[in-house]
Amino acid sequence: MKSKINDIKNSIGSFEINSIDQLEAFRIKFLGSKGLTKELFSELKNVPNEEKKEIGQLLNQLRTDAELKYEDSKKTLIQSQKTANDLDLSRPGESFEIGSHHPLSLVKREIISIFSKIGYIVSEGPEIEDDWHNFSALNFPPEHPARDMQDTFFIEKGEKEIALRTHTSSVQVRVMETSKPPIRTISPGRVYRNEAISARAHCFFHQVEGLYIDKGVSFADLKQTLLYFAQEMFGEKTQIRLRPSYFPFTEPSAEVDVSCTLCNGKGCNVCKYSGWLEILGCGMVDPNVLDSCGIDSSEYTGFAFGMGIERIAQLKYRVTDLRLYSENDIRFLKQFKSGI
Ligand code: DAH
């Protein structure tokens, strides 16, 4: 009898239950009314009296083992069926927020891409500059108001003045000092001015400087380059006009307007009914600047231009408050989703 019980115990242990059918087969074989446990219980009456207690306990244990295995397997099977049913492959995926590029990065990249098509490379310079690169080499006279405390954030005053650069024209100087013509480069970067923050002014903003130096570069080349840029940036119907202006580092100098991107020059409140929007300053590099930077002004000529990235972005996206660009308000930024 004991060895019979042991055999059945082993076959309970090794019985595989991987499906509902196998579960039912297990129940019938071991726990059913004609099952093996029942059969053994009915043989208990033939066991000699002195062994009855021990055999009875073994039989009870056997039945409990079978019942436990049955219940456990049932639970596991039900659980696995549930997960299989929950997996609905036709359900739409969970959406997640994709980040976006900052509008200033988008505009900067576009400017770089437009100029790289006509052979310009990108060069960069430091944001902390000395007086030579930010002012003196660019022909600023010592008493020029731009050097004043009002405009410039000085870091060190005295013999060797160190300041946050007020424009990216400082990179022109660095490029000319370290390379030989022909030079064709644009320099994007952040600049700083000591201004009260408002919708129309900020203490830091971004510029792109352009520089082209070679033999025989003329004002006509400058004009054509800027027309190409304006039409690539704002559309092929865009017109430009140049107004005479003054910068210490260019002679002659001009300010450039584009025909209003909103009304196409007819006049609206964006262009204050003039039909034109100012976008940049430019001019022929002053011979003094070429000579200061080690380029022979009797051999070479060149042009330079400088534009504000915020200004271009403002015209492209109609953002009228400069502060929005640096506040990192997600409601503002997420409107500029672009292809990656
Ligand atoms: N540096 C000037 C500014 O910050 C912009 C500028 C004007 C750059 C004329 C130039 C230029 O290279 O030729 O306002």
Q: Is there an atom of ligand 1 within 6 Å of 169 CB?
A: yes
Mean pLDDT of 121-134: 97
Mean pLDDT of 126-144: 94
Q: What is the pTM of this model?
A: 0.73
What pLDDT score does 338 carry? 60
Q: Is there an atom of ligand 1 within 6 Å of 135 CB?
A: no
Mean pLDDT of 262-289: 91
Q: Is there an atom of ligand 1 within 6 Å of 281 CB?
A: yes
38 phi, psi to nearest 5 deg: -55, -45
Q: Is there an atom of ligand 1 within 6 Å of 306 CB?
A: yes
What pLDDT score does 4 carry? 86
Pocket test for ligand 1, best of 192, 212, 282 (most atoms within 8 A of CB): 282
CA of 306 to the centre of ligand 1 (A): 4
CA of 280 to the centre of ligand 1 (A): 7
Mean pLDDT of 221-249: 97
CA of 147 to the centre of ligand 1 (A): 15
Pocket test for ligand 1, best of 133, 247, 290 (most atoms within 8 A of CB): 247
312-336, pLDDT tens digit by residue? 998 899 888 999 999 999 999 988 8
To the nearest whole percent, how much of the chain has pLDDT over 90?
Answer: 64
Q: Is there an atom of ligand 1 within 6 Å of 304 CB?
A: yes
CA of 183 to the centre of ligand 1 (A): 17
What pLDDT score does 262 carry? 82
Q: Is there an atom of ligand 1 within 6 Å of 247 CB?
A: yes
**Residue with the nearest Cα to atom 7 of ligand 1?**
281
Residue spans per domain, the chain: 2-86, 103-336
Distance between CA 117 and CA 113 in Å, rounded? 6
The band of 337, judged by pLDDT with boundaries at 50, 70 and 90, is confident
Of residues 105 and 43, the one with the higher pLDDT is 105
Mean pLDDT of 60-70: 91
Task: Please identify, by atom number, the ligand 1 atom nearest to the C-alpha of residue 245.
Answer: 9
Distance of alpha carbon 299 from the chain centroid: 44
Range list of H helices, the chain: 2-14, 20-26, 36-43, 49-86, 103-116, 131-134, 169-178, 219-234, 287-292, 309-317, 324-327, 330-333
175-185, pLDDT tens digit by residue? 999 999 999 99
Average pLDDT, the chain: 91
What pLDDT score does 292 carry? 96
Residue 340 has pLDDT above 60, yes or no: no
Residue 85 has pLDDT above 80, yes or no: no
Residue 156 has pLDDT above 60, yes or no: yes
Spell out a b/e string for 87-103, using b for 16 or more CB atoms within 10 Å of the CB, else e: eeeeeeeeeeeeebbeb
Residue 148 has pLDDT above 80, yes or no: no
Task: Please identify, by atom number, the ligand 1 atom nearest to the C-alpha of residue 169.
Answer: 1
Task: Please identify, by atom number, the ligand 1 atom nearest to the C-alpha of residue 207.
Answer: 4
Nearest CA to 37 out of 16, 71, 65, 18 is that of 65
Of residues 81 and 271, the one with the higher pLDDT is 271
Of residues 304 and 86, the one with the higher pLDDT is 304
What pLDDT score does 94 carry? 83
90-100, pLDDT tens digit by residue? 888 888 777 88
Mean pLDDT of 95-108: 88
Starting at the edge strand that comes first in sequence, how are the strands of the sheet with 240-247 ordered?
121-122, 183-192, 204-214, 301-308, 276-285, 250-259, 240-247
What pLDDT score does 176 carry? 98
Residue 51 has pLDDT above 50, yes or no: yes
Q: Is there an atom of ligand 1 within 6 Å of 131 CB?
A: no
Maximum mean pLDDT: which of 40-49, 113-122, 258-267, 270-279 = 113-122
Task: Please identify, by atom number, the ligand 1 atom nearest to the C-alpha of residue 307.
Answer: 5
Residue 339 has pLDDT above 80, yes or no: no
CATH 3.30.70.1560 fits 103-336, yes or no: no
Of residues 155 and 93, the one with the higher pLDDT is 155
Residue 166: partners with Cβ closer than 8 Å, 6 or more residues away? 134, 146, 151, 152, 191, 192, 193
CA of 308 to the centre of ligand 1 (A): 9
